[in-house]
């Protein structure tokens, strides 16, 4: 499928107001991710895993919001959470 920038932009402009008041990562991240994938023309749900339990450096376990190893990583955060924390979580 060929992605057309104007189609992506118009889809994002429609999606954005729908999620303007979203504030809970735990209950809203997957639905938002699926909406975003739809804008990008990705309909195969096997493209990535949501809330994947991973082993972190040092042996502790944690979750990654959205992951396709070696290809894609996304870490949704609730409103008010510093985005630097998401980067630190990914690196860990």
Confidence category of residue 67, pLDDT binned at 50, 70, 90: confident
Write the pLDDT tens digit of every residue in 9-54.
999 999 989 888 888 877 888 888 888 888 888 776 667 777 777 7
Q: Do the beta carbons of residue 49 and residue 67 sit within 8 Å?
A: yes
Delimit the domains of the chain by residue range: 5-91
- 31 vs 5: CA distance, rounded Å: 23
Q: Is the pTM for the entire model greater than 0.85? A: no
pLDDT of residue 1: 57
Collapsing DSSP states into helix, strand and coil, what is residue 45? Answer: helix
Q: Where are the beta strands (DSSP E) in 1-92?
A: 49-55, 61-68, 72-74
- 29 vs 27: CA distance, rounded Å: 6
Q: What is the DSSP letter of 56?
A: P
């Amino acid at each position: 499928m060929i992605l057309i920038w104007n189609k992506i932009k118009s889809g994002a402009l429609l999606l954005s107001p729908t999620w303007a008041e979203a504030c809970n990562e735990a209950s809203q991240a997957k639905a938002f991710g699926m909406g975003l994938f739809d804008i990008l023309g990705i309909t195969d749900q096997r493209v990535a895993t949501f809330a994947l339990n991973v082993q972190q450096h040092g042996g502790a376990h944690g979750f990654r919001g959205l992951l396709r190893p070696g290809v894609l990583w996304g870490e949704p955060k609730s409103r008010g959470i510093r985005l630097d924390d998401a980067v630190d979580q990914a690196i860990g």
